[in-house]
A and B are shown apart, each in its own frame.
Chain A
Amino acid sequence: MKLSIYRFEPESGNPPRMQAYEVRPEAGDKKLLDLLMRLRVQDDSLSFRRSCREGVCGSDAMNINGRNGLACLTALDGLKEPVVLRPLPGFPVIRDLIVDMTQFFAHYHSIKPWLINGEPLPERERLQSPAERERLDGLYECILCACCSAFCPSYWWNPDKFIGPSGLLQAYRFIADSRDTATAERLDFLDDVYRLYRCRTIMNCTEVCPKGLSPSHAIERIRLALLRRSS
């Protein structure tokens, strides 16, 4: 299979370039990551992140033939050749396919991704009804791979101010949680031209989410919650 991969070596002082590769998939190679691992044997200078190789850790997010995805979940079958691999768009590149996620995680932290509950601790755990628990479906599964935020033009233009689809999905995950009592503060924080309202609902986020989640739907719910609160 032919590949064309974005290379950037910071020590060399050279600008990024595309490098052509050719590698023969072997029996049992199903996903793009399998091929990348073979490439590394060929060229051990090629750098990318990976860990669990099954779509749970979220570290091998990259731009694959113009769309963001996880290499470990992208099937080799049906991939157009040469397979063009680039780092996540709009993120500073540290080396080859490895990007700097500092800002992305800063946005995640800004939405306080933990349960806030000022009420006295119950003797046992805080219980949820099955219906309350169900409201977290489609939200809690996010693995923070950044495929969505790095495919969102609003995030590209204002990466320092717009929280981005991933952070907003996480924000709604805590707004929707029956055990969290800080909904009002969370909504106050989000009611801002930049943090929430840069979203124009083009749904690029939902298009590329490797976990099949819909950040745009979460954003829609946040906007409606804000609307309900102020009316």
Chain B
Amino acid sequence: MRLFDGQRAWVIQRISALLLLVLIMLATLALPFAVPLDFSAWRAFAGGALGGPLIALLFGALCAHAWVGMRDIVLDYVQPRGLRFFVLSLIAVVLLGVLVRVLLSLAAVALAA
């Protein structure tokens, strides 16, 4: 819990937010060119030198941002110590799971290419 303390958590929240904002705007701008998306193009993008790192960055920022935000909510509304530890652990496991799942998928596609 002390891993993201005070100002550091606040800064991580802001930096990840800015990053996500840029990525979302890029995605929105790219959307008209990508539709209709077919499987091979999507796979080539996700396994490529540009798409892979971008998707990884997106999920990395999402998870960091979600961690700070969800922890803030827990610190406000979940007061009993035991329950708080349990909920925070659950959130951490979900976010780590998401990150690992995405990185493994991307790695599999990149290796197959």
Contacts and interface: CB of A to CB of B under 8 A. Distances in A.
Q: Do chains A and B touch in the complex (CB under 8 A)?
A: yes
Interface of A: 153-154, 157-158, 191-194, 196-198, 200, 223, 226-227, 230
Given A157-B77, A197-B7, 8 more contacts: A153-B76, A157-B75, A158-B76, A192-B5, A192-B6, A196-B6, A197-B10, A227-B11
A41 B63 CA distance: 61
A193 B6 CA distance: 4
Contacts of A191: 6-7
A59 B6 CA distance: 33
Nearest to B72: A200
B9 interface: yes
A230 B10 CA distance: 13
A158 B10 contact: no
Interface string B6-34: 11011100000000000000000000000
Interface residues of B, number: 11
Contacts of A197: 6-7, 9-10
The binding surface of chain B is classed by DSSP as: helix
A203 to B, nearest CB: 17
B85 to A, nearest CB: 15
Could you say which of B7, B76, B77 has the most chain A C-beta atoms within 10 Å of its C-beta? B7
A223 B13 CA distance: 14
Interface string B67-99: 000001001110100000000000000000000
Nearest to B76: A157
A193 B9 contact: yes
A86 to B, nearest CB: 22
A193 B11 contact: no
Could you say which of B6, B11, B72, B77 has the most chain A C-beta atoms within 10 Å of its C-beta? B6
Contacts of B72: 200
Contacts of B76: 153-154, 157-158, 198
Contacts of B75: 157-158, 193-194, 198
Contact of B7 (A153, A198, A226): A226
B93 to A, nearest CB: 21
B8 to A, nearest CB: 9
Contacts of A196: 6
B2 to A, nearest CB: 9
B77 A227 contact: no
A178 B75 CA distance: 35
Contacts of B5: 192-193
